[in-house]
Structure 1
């Protein structure tokens, strides 16, 4: 669940969180892209998310999708960090362009583990990737974008992440021109992620200037669900009003579960029943 807000209004974010929970979304993570990326803003969001999760005893994780160096500072300030986020690429030059190296990822992972906040396992990293990022940074060394993307999953695997998310159509038509190319890329990324053994998900998405529409996203969502994709994004109305791109909505995830006979994570499924969000223990039926 990604309840972004263009002015980081906490009331607006909280409303979106509850909207998502009532659709059964949020079992992987409740994550927010801060409109202003700085440590103070990130810590404020981390504390708000932690308060909501603790108040309602939600079996999930929170994450503020800020730069890894900001998260390190937040941990030093005593912020409640569940997952460390970072966008990563498949070459050293790409990651250097993103402002970090593998040493910083290792340091952040150790810092997050030191908080001992996880109730199941020690997977404290959340990575996002996307075909074209190395090319756009002129850091691909002549390699094609799919090869660079697959190499990013090898970077991710080294740090035992909870989530790896290909934001497949976000970089725009300069790298994936239309709906057909986005569908192909989403399936390529899913396959390569599974091959490399990472917990792969997909932000089924497109930018408003791409030759794509929501029909393409419905098709890709269904194909990924059939293929065993670990997670997809839930955003109010499928329209991210902060990042200005189109993705999947809360009810899209509910559709995929119903159509394919899938369920949320077991602990989250039990919580949905206990909170009477679903009826008769059936996560396909909202109360």
Structure 2
């Protein structure tokens, strides 16, 4: 027997930390599919009670996936600052939560604290926090990164323009991008998900996006979200890439299912610094999302919240420019409905920020999920209050290539207006010169893509 707790006269027994961590999660269809979730709310509360009383040292000394078996575990373990850990190892998870939420604790304090935390400790704190806790905690943390431009400042809500096209048709992509720019979208990155993952196609998309950036002197960065090896071949061929991209999983086996390893990421890291076109120190774009390890049968009985946190432990090794969770993209097998998507989005954002990452969210859902656009409005509003670094925009909130629903360009403009947030400083100045913004607000010219088409 590992631990036990009594709730309303019934005693619940837990046999190991992995079980406690899984059953302490808020309801999650992915955990249910894996057969590791709490059977009911009372068992969930018992698991949360046990988890809250565990010390950080107990969590570190009971690895869910031992470092000798998994390279992600090794990266996480090797990143821990011994002096910081020694100071806090006897804290309970409840005490960690209290420190995070204390009004006297600053974002700088949390970033320093995170140096002594493993990804599992950060996940444990998230499991005993309410949605409002997650918002409050994340809102304290400012993570500024620099690729071609700087984003992440307090008071800034940046955005990725995602002008995907179902056949990678360059003129079609270009028109979609012009609409995004006309709404002030694209200061985080102009990032395309390609249909055709060939070196020549990725080369063409990188050249096209860089040509648009240069032609209109747009202070932003470009990226094509193909497999990292295809991007590497295109960059070796001379393609102008500011960022290099890859999706991550929280286990070595999960990453192997993506066709990547840490040595491969290190090789790509050397390449983007040697032959990339950016000038700043942060040149990676990572995407994650709860459930990917379960979908590849690489979860080892670990719950999807903890695995997501481990993705961030891997990501911070490479000092990325941006990271985002594609929160509702995988489907209802992992996040069943809007309640689970909203909770996951807030968890992911908090856990990413607690790792010191420049965290964004693709506020999205699939059409077979019990969610709709109003739910995305709710999540994007909560994330704006939480200080999310960036969100993603697609035309009319409907990605015509990936066939899922996200935020529209004008949704992001509305969030900025509601919360008095701005695009990244350099990008805002560019918008003012283009006549799209004035005094922090969009002008009557906003939303008109012919502003750029007429200048071609």
Tell me which interval the TM-score lies in, with the shorter structure as reference length.
Answer: over 0.9
Aligned partner of 2:368 in structure 1 is: 209
Aligned partner of 1:8 in structure 2 is: 168
Partners of 1:283 and 1:198 in 2: CA distance: 29
> Please, which of 130, 135, 141 is the counterpart of residue 294 of structure 2?
135
Partners of 1:122 and 1:143 in 2: CA distance: 34
Partners of 1:285 and 1:89 in 2: CA distance: 42
* CA offsets 1:217-268 (integer angstroms, 9 cap, x no match): 0000000000000000010000001000000010011011000010011100
Q: Which has the larger radius of gyration?
A: 2
In the alignment, is residue 108 of structure 1 matched against residue 268 of structure 2? yes
Aligned partner of 1:146 in structure 2 is: 305
Residues 7 and 35 in structure 1, CA contact (< 8 A), matched pair in contact too: yes
Give the superposition deviation at 1:276. 1.1
Give the superposition deviation at 1:285. 4.1
Residues 164 and 200 in structure 1, CA contact (< 8 A), matched pair in contact too: yes
Aligned partner of 1:55 in structure 2 is: 215
Residues 272 and 283 in structure 1, CA contact (< 8 A), matched pair in contact too: no
Aligned partner of 1:46 in structure 2 is: 206
* CA offsets 1:52-106 (integer angstroms, 9 cap, x no match): 0000000000000010111111111011011101010110000000001011111
Partners of 2:315 and 2:442 in 1: CA distance: 32
Partners of 2:318 and 2:181 in 1: CA distance: 29
> Please, which of 330, 335, 349 is the counterpart of residue 190 of structure 1?
349
Give the superposition deviation at 1:136. 0.6
> Please, which of 171, 174, 178 is the counterpart of residue 18 of structure 1?
178
Residues 360 and 388 in structure 2, CA contact (< 8 A), matched pair in contact too: yes
Calculate the TM-score normalised by the size of structure 2: 0.62
> Please, which of 168, 174, 178 is the counterpart of residue 333 of structure 2?
174
Give the superposition deviation at 1:165. 0.7
Residues 127 and 165 in structure 1, CA contact (< 8 A), matched pair in contact too: yes
Aligned partner of 1:282 in structure 2 is: 440
> Please, which of 233, 249, 264 is the counterpart of residue 89 of structure 1?
249
For CA contacts below 8 A with separation 6 or more, give which structure has more relative contact order. Answer: 2
Residues 34 and 64 in structure 1, CA contact (< 8 A), matched pair in contact too: yes
The 1:282/1:188 distance shift into structure 2, 3 A limit, reads same
Partners of 1:286 and 1:270 in 2: CA distance: 17
Partners of 1:284 and 1:201 in 2: CA distance: 23
Residues 320 and 358 in structure 2, CA contact (< 8 A), matched pair in contact too: yes
Calculate the TM-score normalised by the size of structure 1: 0.97
Alignment size in residue pairs: 285
Partners of 2:220 and 2:269 in 1: CA distance: 19
Please tell me the root mean square deviation across aligned C-alpha atoms, in Å. Answer: 1.0
Aligned partner of 1:35 in structure 2 is: 195
Residues 257 and 284 in structure 1, CA contact (< 8 A), matched pair in contact too: no
Partners of 1:19 and 1:170 in 2: CA distance: 24
Partners of 2:370 and 2:329 in 1: CA distance: 13
Partners of 1:23 and 1:268 in 2: CA distance: 12
Aligned partner of 2:227 in structure 1 is: 67
Give the superposition deviation at 1:283. 3.9
- DSSP 3-state at the match of 2:323: strand
* CA offsets 1:124-159 (integer angstroms, 9 cap, x no match): 100000000001111011100000000000111000
The 1:285/1:259 distance shift into structure 2, 3 A limit, reads farther
Residues 269 and 283 in structure 1, CA contact (< 8 A), matched pair in contact too: no
- DSSP 3-state at the match of 1:37: coil
Partners of 1:52 and 1:250 in 2: CA distance: 18
Partners of 2:263 and 2:443 in 1: CA distance: 46
Structure 1: 5+ residue runs without aligned partners? none
Partners of 1:84 and 1:92 in 2: CA distance: 20
